[in-house]
Structures are given as structure tokens and as C-alpha cells.
Amino acid sequence: MTTSRIHGFYNLPLDERLTELANAAGLSAADLEAFTLTGGLAPNQADHMVENAVGTFGLPLGIGLNFIVNGREVLVPMAIEEPSVVAGASFMAKLARAAGGFQAEASAPEMIGQMQVLDVPDLPKARQALLEQKANLLAEADVIDPVLKKLGGGARDLEVRVIEDSPIGSFLVIHLIYDVRDAMGANAVNTACEKLAPRVENITGGRVHLRILSNLADRRLARARCTIPVNEMAFGRDESEAHPYTGEQVRDGIIAAWAFAAADPYRAATHNKGIMNGVDAVVIATGNDWRAIEAGAHAYAARSGRYTSLSTWGKDADGNLTGFLEMPMAVGIVGGATKVHPTAKAALKLMGVKTAAKLAEIIVSVGLAQNLAALRALATEGIQRGHMSLHARQVAIAAGATGDMIEKVAVQMVAEKTVRIDRAEEILKE
């Protein structure tokens, strides 16, 4: 990858964008073929993925530009139906470039498998017995997936919890900690829990009920940081702008917006949704399980007992804006749709990602960029203006506009500041 800054990308026709993309990423057009037209997934491939398949469902795929993650230029594929997300992430990545982009890291790919043990005659005794047998249990769990084992993964730890205040009373819960390397890990962990269950029953004298992965993957975290030079934050300083903001005003506005999310769950839910706009778009484009990522993110945001912001914004000693995001990131690059879906394969190739950790680092950086885009807009002109032109095009299409009429109807609605389907229908009639 030479650069993730492709000038004028937005204004190019679709096919030229693909050529530019392939050139910038040092790939052949064939490498990115899955990005064109059909969405990459043929109905007969879909038929092997889910039951009762009748077709596929397309989503726009945009490219997040300008990203530098850990010093590496990266073009980011984003699958999303919402206007402004790709543009917002790209613009914030451009601002972050001035201070070197995003610094990101991912912890060890350790997932948690849970076993619920019911009808245990003596809970403290069973707990003690499990802990005494821990080394044996881990040794057994470790060889359940020989492929993972060969790659350096496998069982890492075993924790035993007693849950006392459940609606059915007390029971034991075992956490099997499993290093899943470059997989998302659900299959490996679920298999390990199922296979270990009979041994757990022998040891505890109880009955293993559920055996399933936890999506609160709080041992598999990804973190991203960025610094935005305060002078880069000035907004609408052009004479023609009605409401110019200095860099300091925008920075302080963003910090105040973050403080709202830090203190209030109603705002935090929306704030974190903005983060997930960026996160999910890359998770989906790479064929990963976005419901798992969503579940993990929100559970992690509530880990203190009060739901709060996943990100933190502040300023450094020089007055520059600083951002930090930490969240669970259970994504894989092997197994599941990541290896089956042609677009997902092309997406990984475009990013030059060779490990799940590298993918996690990019995703969390995009989440942070997306969060910044939303806060910057909210702290200044509001969110609607940026949304308007693409939103207006969607409204025009919904009203029946085709071809050139889409743009014409959209432009008129934006000029009139009335983007509504009834107005679009009127303009079309006129």
C-alpha cells in the first residue's frame, strides 16, 4: 500500500474508483473483482451459508480513506447503508494524519466459554475440586482443537464462579479461557465446552446445563488512540461560513459532548452507536459477526454497573485533542464467512491484514474516527447538514426519481431545506 490518501476519489465514476483503489493498494483489478456490482456473493454460495436461502441482500461498500494505523497506510472497506459514515471516518482520519494517525493494539485473542453447572450437591466443595483438577481439565481442553493448538492457541485458564442470587437460586459457572488465535472463536470454544462437560459433571456431581461462548469478550480487547492538533479542529473559518469555530472551541465542544455520554446512559447509547457505525461497517465488510461485536461492546460499556461511553476525549499538554477507545473485538480472519464470502476475502486483501489482531486494530481505529466525526458535527453545525445531500438522494429515489432526476430533486430539496418524500413527489410532478 503506497497511500490511503487518494485525491478526488469522491468525484470519480465508480469503475475509475476501483482502478484507483487497486493501484493505491498495489492489487490487480481481479483481486477486487468481488467489490463490483453483485456484492460478490452468488446465490448458490449463499445457499451453503444459511437455510432456506432465496438470494442475497446487497449493501453499499464504501472506502474509508486517509487511515494510518500504527504507521501503516490502510484503505478501509466499509459496508453500510447510512450516508455520511464513510465520509466522516475518512475526514477524521485525514485530521488524525497530521499527528501520525492512529496508534492501536489488541490483547491476546482469549475468549471465554461458559459452563453452567446445576444440581451441585455441595457448591464450595465442587468449586474446590474443580480448582484442584484445573491442570488436568486444561490439559484435556487444550488438545480438543489440534489445529488451534498447532498454531499456538488452546486452553489458557479455568475460573470457577458461584452465582448466588439467580431466580433459580445458586449454581456454579465455569469459565474456560481459550486462545483462539486468528479465529473469531465461537466454534472452537463451544466445542471445547461441550467436550469438557462430562468431566466437569464427574468432578462436581452436578449437571452441566449451558455450554456456550460469552460475547462479553473482556479479555480480547482492542484499543486505539489519536491526537488531533488543535489548529486542525477549526471549523468553518471560511468568511462565507455563518458560524465559524476556532480549534479550541471545537476541541472543548467535543470534550463537553463526550462528558455528556460519560455521565448519562441515554446519551452514551447514542454516542456508542456512532462508534459502532464505523466498527460494524468494517466488521460486516470482512464477513465477521457484527451481532457478537455489538453485544460485547454494549456489555463492556456497562461493566461498571452503569452504562457509559466506550471512548474518552481530552486534551494534552499542548492543547491538542486526544481520543481513546477500548472495547472487546472478537473478530477473525479464518473460518466462517471471512473465508467463504468473496467480498470479505477481497476486503482483507485490500487492508493487507494477515492476523485477527491487525484487523481488530484497524476496526477500533475506525470506531474512534467515526466517534470523532459525530462529536465534531454535533458540537458545531449539527448532524443534519452533512447528512442532507445523500439523504436527499435516497428520499428522491424513494419518491420515484430515476437517472438525472435523482440529483435534481435532491439538490432542490436541500436548497429549500425541506427533505421530505411529499416534497420530492411534488418536485417530480413539477
Instruction: Return residues touching ligand MEV (CB under 6 A).
Output: 82, 270-271, 273-274, 277, 374, 378, 383
Residue written as cell 456431581? Answer: 205
**Closest approach of ligand MEV to the CB of residue 258, in Å:** 9
CA–CA separation, 354 vs 363, rounded Å? 14
134 versus 273: smaller Cβ distance to ligand MEV: 273
**Closest approach of ligand MEV to the CB of residue 257, in Å:** 7
In the structure grid, which three cell numbers stand for residue 190, read together?
Answer: 463451544
Q: What is the DSSP letter of 365?
A: H
**Closest approach of ligand MEV to the CB of residue 290, in Å:** 15
Q: How many CB atoms lie within 10 A of CB 329?
A: 28
**Closest approach of ligand MEV to the CB of residue 274, in Å:** 3
94 versus 273: smaller Cβ distance to ligand MEV: 273
372 CB contacts (<8 Å, ≥6 apart)? 92, 95, 226, 228, 254, 313, 323
Residue written as cell 486452553? Answer: 155
- 134, 175, 273, 315: the active-site residue: 273
Whether 289 is catalytic is yes
- 82, 248, 381, 425: the active-site residue: 82
Residue written as cell 419518491? Answer: 399
Q: Closest-CB residue for ligand MEV?
A: 274
10 versus 266: smaller Cβ distance to ligand MEV: 266
Burial class (CB in 10 A: 0-12, 13-18, 19+), 382: exposed
**Closest approach of ligand MEV to the CB of residue 270, in Å:** 4
- 149, 315, 387, 408: the active-site residue: 387
Q: What are phi and psi for residue 23, nearest 5 degrees?
A: -60, -50
CA–CA separation, 398 vs 408, rounded Å? 14
350 versus 374: smaller Cβ distance to ligand MEV: 374
Q: Which residues of 53-81 are buried (b: 16+ CB within 10 A; e: fewer)?
A: eeebeeeebbbbbbbbbbebbbbbbbbbe
- 280, 289, 326, 361: the active-site residue: 289
CB 327 within 8 A of CB 299: no
CA–CA separation, 365 vs 294, rounded Å? 16
Whether 273 is catalytic is yes
**Closest approach of ligand MEV to the CB of residue 296, in Å:** 19
CB 376 within 8 A of CB 235: yes
CB 145 within 8 A of CB 154: yes
82 versus 157: smaller Cβ distance to ligand MEV: 82
219 versus 251: smaller Cβ distance to ligand MEV: 251
> Which active-site residues does the annotation give?
82, 273, 289, 387
